[in-house]
Structure 1
Amino acid sequence: HEYELFLMHDNESISDMFTRFTMIINSLKNLGKSYSNQELVRKILRCLPKNWTPKALKKKFPQEEESRKREEPTCYECKKSGHFKNECPNLKKKAQFKKKDEYSKRKKAMVATWDDSDPSSSEEGSDEEVANIDFMEIEDEDENEVNFTFDELQNAYENLFNEYENVCLRNKSLKKNAISMSKEIENLKSEISK
């Protein structure tokens, strides 16, 4: 009965009201009646005086206000925050590669076939031949097209650069080895000539 009629008194502080509310809830638990946390919070919010309403609403929905303030745009291309798809650096780099690919996709070819102009003329011993030239455009199909993401190209570049550095180090080592061997050969030649 006290739970249903519970209200905050005008001269009562929040901590006093909460202590009184907790005592009522504990006595109800001893009697076997329990409430969920959500029900208890709603009861406390309903028992606050009218001048507490704006504060109560702010306490009730703090996450929504904070998320609205902090929310940044998310790019649907790279799934990173801070920019929209039309400003995506990955998309701009892909567009540069597509321009280069479009030119290489379209290749033109000339096919020439040599034919006798007339079957009867070949029987007569004529050596005249006519060239039938067909012009056609060859376009690569999508299944032959290779598309790489920016990250894949970046990884390939880094791997190639690391391999290049290793080859340079090996080359430098081999040059030093060759110089030392040529000096040793010169020393051996000078010893033999003595």
Structure 2
Amino acid sequence: MKQDEPIVDMITRFTDIINGHNGLDRKFTNGEFVSKMLRSLSKYWNSLRMLIENTKDVNSYLLEELYETLMTYELNNAETKEKTKRSKEEMKEPPKRQIVLKSTNDEGSSNTNMSDEELDNVVLLVKK
């Protein structure tokens, strides 16, 4: 299995291989296919692989049931994987800077004391 490959793509490739073997009159049992499929899973699938190998009889476990289990596992863990990825990206981002302007409230003063250039700079700061 390729890294970050969707399980559906792997199942498609595996099915093509099975069909090729059947075309060559090479017969494997369902248990052999299940064992080969489990062995070809990447490290991401280790926990599920161990669970299946320890709780199911691999020789009587149907290949279709394995496909369903793998697809369900991937769907359930896709959201968790995405959340983890987003949190890692957020940790890499530098904190955003905030600009604080000191405000004074003098009734007698007005913006006419500022030059046009200073007023433009203040406007730019406020817009940012």
**Which bracket does the TM-score occupy, shorter chain normalised?**
0.3 to 0.5
- Larger fraction in strand: 1
Q: Considering Cα pairs closer than 8 Å and 6+ residues apart, tell me whether 1 or 2 has the greater RCO.
A: 2
Point out the structure with max Rg over C-alpha: 1
With normalisation by structure 2, the TM-score equals 0.40
With normalisation by structure 1, the TM-score equals 0.27
